Structure 1
């Protein structure tokens, strides 16, 4: 896939082999103003960086105006807005001519129905109902009545006034800027819009009814993303024909599968995909600590959130935990992560995903031989819905969905995760134990049946919406840990655990992707690196928060603590970016405002906060001084993280723009345009021999990235050997060695600095040395170009870290 592909996959230099693994990937977020042609123009620059494959966001036709591509409306065509198939083919040809691969993000779980007239499949379903040729493509409960489309405005009247806004035009029902189809023979001139509406296979209803009554499965609680039934072979074929055509015509060498947990049968889907696509496949899958992918999945691995948790965590000082925990409790911020999670997940299950819970409970009722629940109508259905038995079923399902310690179980594999969830739910709600036993028995008897599939599909949504989208904005003790795939209950990762994880990755999944920043991370790798430095001065931070909050508090404790950490981690950032981020955080937390019940006064206090800070000159100066004190140690952590990611086990991904310092926050902030021209200018200087200092330009990170990626592409590192420093500051060195192409002994060593502030307080490296693997040849640091002068100590070849790390806080040592 690259000029120097991984030899473990049987490829050779300069050849293209779709089954080969890329040496690395570089993620490009396509959208308006940056399409396939612009991506193609960047390929030579990426190759010079050492990138093995260009990794593209979704390129299928999306909702008009989409800025991300995850809202696909037509899976049969490459987006013309991005340049169409011709631009895609040209990009692939140019990439392959350079020896680079092409990896493409695909979205099998859902399609956008925000603009029905833009989605021909959904339009046909609305037109013809269950008789549509596309009816089986979407997960619609046709037995429950017309398809509910929650788009009407609602001023507390359940949308009745909004129905009066419906009009008829050009043979369609029209509601403001949205058009809806008419079924055949349902309109004659003179009919009112209201009467015609009642004759359709759908009903336009209040937007408030989506969470509780929707009768088609969604992506999370997003009403305009309708789930697709790719478990059906015919639907798979229809939705993947274009994707598989790319493979046949050298348009894609690898696929990144989005939101695999949302699929009815992830394993079955991936086996079908791998049978038809012989390239590199990774899945967007968040693994809990200690969890691994099911053995039956024929994929290279995940998109790397597990590696992100470990790599970022090893640069956090665990000694800060008691101080920051005490600060949070003092400020009124909850610190019991289990309780925070359960509360947030319970809200997701009981409120945001109420429609999905009701549908599962109705299946359970059918299995018990009871009433049909959601499939009944009229008075009989109402009596069933109001019965205590029905309520118990819904509560039991909701409690079970909140009780998983992983995102979802994969039955019949990973039965233990299912058993733990059932046991936890019964312990929390012993009054529901009989119903939970019924669920357990029914699912175990038919682990591939509809009840089992829907419970498992929905548990992942509950965890993601409850934990990532809510709890991470409530338990803000130390937000560097509150990352996608993160575990705020574990305060950092010790070096031994870090090495153990890398050994396991190299042994079990050497072709998996690793990541530090993605389009979904809550904050960029460089923001987290600064926050890791903050963990070294917890007392100073705690004292500052007490002073600052007394003078300019945000209107809710969790948001207040989040706000100060955000300022320090992302400084300097514009008032507009800060306000937009804090508003999103507050609405996600749902503690003073929310997306569906916004509190204008609460949100105005957020909007006014940056101006209040700026107006208090002494306060503002204090914030700036502390933020600037974190820059140097933050840079050290950033370079350390990047080095161990880029040369460690797995396939490292670089998110667009992060080859320089990038202080982005959660989307859409992290999807801002990247100045590739500025990066190209710095790269040209580095190629001419410039070894940049570690300063605000970020060129040192670019130099590191180019060095690591080209070294990786050239040498094809394999194996993994932890290295342990010796001396007074040994705990501050993180190092490992790897073999290289053609070598029998480790010939590549990576050294990074941990906890740089504490190291400086201790007087630096002093007598600390790093034992290096023995063997012939001299060690050279590819970052500085210097030959390392090793010494012999107790029979070992050692390097003095004060010398090795005197220019950069990291080193890339190669035995030439």
Structure 2
């Protein structure tokens, strides 16, 4: 069946396929049609996410195995529901239980799988010729040998020997150790690193292997295989090879052919060598297995830059919805407030630079510290290709230098030159990077010329905007050199973009954290209602089956955390005053030791994530909340790579930062220090008991939250209504049918109390006026009720939402820019949607306020009724009827009197 709404579920040993099956009645009652499952293939034991695949052809036994999956699929079919399955074609885990990887380590180039992984068997480093770098040691090799932590060990059941170190095992290549018939104990004794002779024999044995064990920090400069981003635990797979493609997709293709899966979600499509070709091959493979389905349902995880449109050569149904998440957030932020907050951030940071400068700096950091090996391989390939194609005689050093500047300014995740023809979009992207890079090398004519040659070379051949250059056809050698260089280039820009922006700048630049989100860019702060309509109309033309997300397993902040923080863009003066108060509270020690930027971002995290039922007098609940924020804080510090980092953690700074947090929340210095040291464990009860609800800044923080929370809830309901009514398939992230004030993972992957949500739904009267829930809005039932009612509306009018037109409606009056209105219609059925935006000044900030707008503000503001929209309508939330007359204005004060949003169906 066609999907009308999905729910994303994170599967792991703590939430298995069987537990997902138990939730089906609830999801069905809610109005969900498809479970959107995280990867089900066998993963590293204990995996909490499933992306570290060790066997793509087998359902993970920790999830219940294939029998459990079949039971889940059967239970869904019984209720006319289905599955969207997340698959991982880009990488696998470098784990001993990955038989492909183990075979490569054992047999090297002779392995059947030697070409299945993206390994450079002839890198510039001759010591790695025919070998795989294994950067998995906690120390250098000599230290590991000297400490006897690395040793030879017999695996008697398998009749073999292994290298063991740090709890991990590595194989011995055939023929590199003496006769297997020898006494195992004697063999081990001969290689005992506790003696000089044994240590030397063990070292010589290691040198004979098909892998080179070394310290993990060698990976950045020596790695000779493609990683997932900079994670050495995940190796790139050459899925562009047809044999590898078939092996990786064996399980999902079979499940799809058997009708157990309805669609596929493709993880990190930009990491592939040929994503366009891949999408076409996948589409054809699915069509072959289900010829009754013309267009298979395929959605791709793809990050689009602001105003970037998904390349039409992708043969897919759409994206997983990060682009929509950004567009929806942008329309709920004030552009004027964005400028004010940017100015305030420059005061706080004492830095005049905008977010673009932060991105440039982060990209250079990544290229010079984290992706050195990848950059140098690309430079070498590019230099060879330029020389092979007669594009000048330049040194490797100069190519590397200019390439670095070019990569640092690349404006999107990647180009798509794999077909040999540069589209106008590709040409625009490359020329933009060229122009940006030129501004940084303006003092060097030779580097500018080389930059031009690199850009021209990337675009060499046919382009959509001009004729092919008058040059002879390339030789096979030139063609190969070009293909290898382009592939390296296009597989480096995506991880470079992600690690620079999402995992660095988002933790360094803090004008407003709600705009530091996956799929967003801090420089793109807000958009108008007209721009929002344009995006929706474009989506309705081609990507109606793409997902619409406002939360995910990868989000930096929960959807309602962001909605609340968006209010700050409307109340900058109030925010500035509060920050000054909290800064005055900060004592000299913290002010001196902790950068003001870090304190400023902690205040935002506290305001955004503060639970609606949290009161400062509840020391236990406050300590639990403080621990969650402290865990985010530690991750933020390490991702920012300034005061601390994952590679070199500054534990003292992290502890002082957490202590500052707990003192903000009302704990004395000694107790705050104890809580700061135990953020990975249950809070110390003695320390918790020392809490003073009237000390620190906790009273001020709570008052501020209570003041902005009603406006934040209005934003939350608006984004929920829009997600459920604009073109696309709405996706619900697990548990977010109630308020979602989560932070980045692992906070956003906490267990969900589904029985409580099911009980709440059962207690809801489907015929009731939802406005009756507004006085109790803090418990989250109002959000669940709005979701349920709109999902049932989608069920009642499937054609309107799946195929219907999307027509913006004209708003009029002095507050016309504060309304978003549109009509969805198909075959005579019409649904009108009207929601407010940027209305915080007209929402009460009292502690007893409800999330609704003071109707006196609207006055002459309303929606023009077009000729084809006249008639009698019923509001699905309140049940109230409205008679619309063509050519007249439907007043906002009438539409939004009971609820902050209105969805009308023609009666």
TM-score in terms of structure 1 length:
0.91
Tell me the residue number matched to 1:12: none
Structure 1 position 369, deviation (Å): 5.3
Q: Using the alignment, how far apart are the partners of 1:208 and 1:158 within structure 2?
A: 14
Q: Per-residue deviation at 1:769?
A: 2.9
Aligned to 1:796: 887
SS state at 2:812 partner:
coil
The reply on whether 1:173 has 2:253 as its aligned counterpart is: no
SS of match in other structure, 1:705: helix
- Structure 1 counterpart of 2:794: 712
Higher mean displacement: 221-230 or 409-418: 409-418
With 174-183 and 408-417 compared, the bigger mean Cα shift is at 408-417
- For residues 271-282 of structure 1, what are the structure 2 equivalents within 5 Å? 271-278=280-287, 279-282=296-299
Among 555, 568, 572, the alignment partner of 2:607 is 568
Alignment check: 8 A CA contact 1:231 1:263 kept: yes
Match of 1:131 among 100, 110, 130: 110
Match of 2:379 among 341, 346, 361: 361
The answer on whether the counterparts of 1:62 and 1:71 sit within 8 Å (CA) in structure 2 is yes
Q: 2:136 aligns with which of 151, 155, 162?
A: 151
Distance 2:809 2:738 in 1: 28
> 1:809 is matched with which residue?
900
Deviations 1:279-323 (A, max 9, x none): 200111111122112222110111111111111111112221233
Map of 1:558 onto structure 2: 597
**How far is the alpha carbon of 1:161 from its aligned partner?**
4.9
Task: State whether residues 806 and 824 of structure 2, in contact with CA within 8 Å, keep that contact through their aligned partners in structure 1.
Answer: yes
Among residues 218, 223, 248, which one is paired with 2:227 in the alignment? Answer: 218
Alignment-derived partner of residue 438 in structure 2: 426
Distance in 2 (alpha carbons) for counterparts of 1:297 and 1:483: 24
1:221 positional shift: 0.5
SS at match of 2:315: coil
Which deviates more from structure 2 when the two are superposed, residues 427-436 or residues 201-210? 427-436
1:693: which partner in 2? 773
SS in 2 for 1:778: strand
Structure 2 CA distance for partners of 1:149 and 1:632, relative to 1, 3 Å: same
CA distance in 2, matches of 1:333, 1:600: 26
Residue of 223, 235, 241 corresponding to 2:244: 235
* Alignment pair present for 1:582 and 2:561: no
Q: From the superposition, tell whether residues 365 and 730 of structure 1 become closer, same or farther in structure 2 (CA, over 3 Å).
A: closer
Where does residue 617 of structure 1 map in the other structure? 695
**Which whole-Å deviations, capped at 9, do the CAs of 1:112-135 have from their partners, x for residues lacking one?**
11x3x2111100000000110011
1:388: how far off?
A: 10
Q: Are the counterparts in 2 of residues 333 and 558 from structure 1 also a CA contact under 8 Å?
A: no
The Cα offsets for residues 414-466 of structure 1, whole Å up to 9 and x where unpaired, read as 23212322333233224333443443354344597010111011011111110
For the residues of structure 2 that align with 1:184 and 1:135, how far apart are their CA atoms?
Answer: 16
State the Cα RMSD in Å: 2.2
Q: Distance in 1 between matches of 2:241 and 2:715?
A: 47
Residue 149 of structure 2 contacts residue 166 of structure 2 at CA under 8 Å; is this kept in 1? no
Corresponding position of 1:525: 559
Partner residue in 2 for 1:49: 30
The 8 Å contact of residues 711 and 843 in structure 2, kept in 1 or not, is answered as: no
Aligned pair partner of 2:51 in 70, 73, 78: 70
Q: Is the CA contact 1:725–1:768 (under 8 Å) kept in the aligned structure 2?
A: yes
Moved more, 762-771 or 681-690: 762-771
Deviation at 1:777, TM superposition (A): 4.7
The Cα shift of 1:760 comes to 4.0
Equivalent position of 2:335 in the other structure: 318
Cα pair distance change 1:567/1:156, threshold 3 Å:
farther
> Partner of 1:169: helix, strand, or coil?
strand
Query: How far off is 1:671 after superposition?
Result: 0.7
Q: Secondary structure at the match of 2:890?
A: strand
Alpha-carbon separation, structure 1, partners of 2:324 and 2:495: 22
Q: Which residue of 2 aligns with 1:15?
A: none
CA contact (8 A) 2:644 2:653 kept: yes
Structure 2 equivalent of residue 381 of structure 1 = none
CA distance in 2, matches of 1:534, 1:444: 44
Show CA shifts across 1:233-291 (max 9, x none). Answer: 11111111111111111121111101011000100111110001142001111111221
Q: For 1:490 and 1:296, locate their aligned partners in 2 and report how far apart those are by CA, in whole Å.
A: 26
Q: Is this contact kept in 1: 2:34–2:81, CA < 8 A?
A: yes
Question: Residues 30 and 714 (structure 1 numbering): CA distance in 2 closer, same or farther, change over 3 Å?
Answer: same
From 410, 419, 440, the counterpart of 2:416: 410
Equivalent residue for 1:682? 760
Question: Do residues 108 (structure 1) and 191 (structure 2) align?
Answer: no
Partner of 1:752: 835
1:633 aligns with 2:711: yes
Q: Cα offset for 1:770?
A: 2.7
Q: 1:768 aligns with which of 861, 872, 888?
A: 861
Q: Mean alpha-carbon deviation: is it higher for 681-690 or for 590-599?
A: 681-690
Q: Which residue of 2 aligns with 1:384?
A: none
CA distance in 2, matches of 1:184, 1:684: 64
CA 574–333 in structure 1, closer or farther in 2 if over 3 Å, else same = farther
Residue equivalent to 2:305 = 288
Cα distance in structure 2, aligned partners of 1:583 and 1:515: 27
Distance 1:787 1:523 in 2: 38
* Aligned equivalents of 1:153, 1:739: Cα separation in 2: 61
DSSP 3-state at the match of 1:166: strand
Structure 2: distance between partners of 1:484 and 1:726: 34
Seen in structure 2, the aligned counterparts of structure 1 residues 468 and 33 have a Cα distance that, compared at 3 Å, is same
**Residue 733 of structure 1, CA deviation:** 2.0
Structure 2 portions without partners, runs of 5+: 156-160, 179-186, 192-200, 288-295, 461-478, 612-623, 668-693, 845-853
The 5 A counterparts of 1:723-762 are 723-740=809-826, 742-743=827-828, 747-760=830-843
- Who is 2:475 aligned against? none
Q: From 181, 194, 201, give the equivalent of 2:203.
A: 194
Distance 2:166 2:649 in 1: 23
Label 1:390 to 1:776 Cα distance change in 2 as closer, same or farther (>3 A). closer
| Map of 2:575 onto structure 1 | 541
Q: Which moved more, 1:634-643 or 1:539-548?
A: 539-548
Partners of 1:702 and 1:162 lie apart in 2 by 58
Match of 2:857, SS state, is coil
TM-score computed with the length of structure 2 as normaliser: 0.82
Residues 156, 599 of structure 1: CA spacing in aligned structure 2 closer, same or farther, 3 A cutoff? farther
Matches within 5 A, 1:315-464: 315-332=332-349, 334=351, 335-367=353-385, 389-411=395-417, 412=421, 413=423, 414-430=426-442, 431=444, 432-445=447-460, 449-464=483-498
Distance 1:532 1:393, change over 3 A: same
Determine if contact 1:477/1:561 at 8 Å carries over to the other structure.
Answer: no
Does the aligned pair in 1 maintain the 2:172–2:209 contact within 8 Å?
yes
CA deviation string 1:626-645 (max 9, x = no partner): 01111111111000001011
For residues 765 and 275 of structure 2, what CA distance do their matches in structure 1 show? 45
Contact 2:8/2:732, CA 8 A, preserved across alignment: yes
SS at match of 2:784: helix
CA distance in structure 2 between the partners assigned to 1:728 and 1:143 by the alignment: 68
Preserved contact between residue 73 and residue 119 of structure 1 (Cα < 8 Å)? yes
- Which residue among 536, 541, 544 is the counterpart of 1:507? 541
Q: Secondary structure at the match of 1:541?
A: helix
Contact 1:158–1:206 (8 Å) recurs in 2? no
Alignment equivalent of 2:62, drawn from 40, 64, 81: 81
Distance 1:396 1:198 in 2: 37
Assess if the C-alpha contact under 8 Å between 1:556 and 1:591 holds in 2. no
637-646 or 403-412: which moved more?
403-412
- Does structure 1 conserve the Cα–Cα contact (< 8 Å) formed by 2:141 and 2:213? no
One of 185, 206, 222 as aligned partner of 2:175: 185
Distance in 2 between residues matched to 1:422 and 1:688, nearest whole Å = 58
Higher alpha-carbon deviation: 686-695 or 160-169: 160-169
> Is residue 729–residue 759 contact of structure 1 (8 Å, CA) maintained in 2?
no
1:703 aligns with 2:785: yes
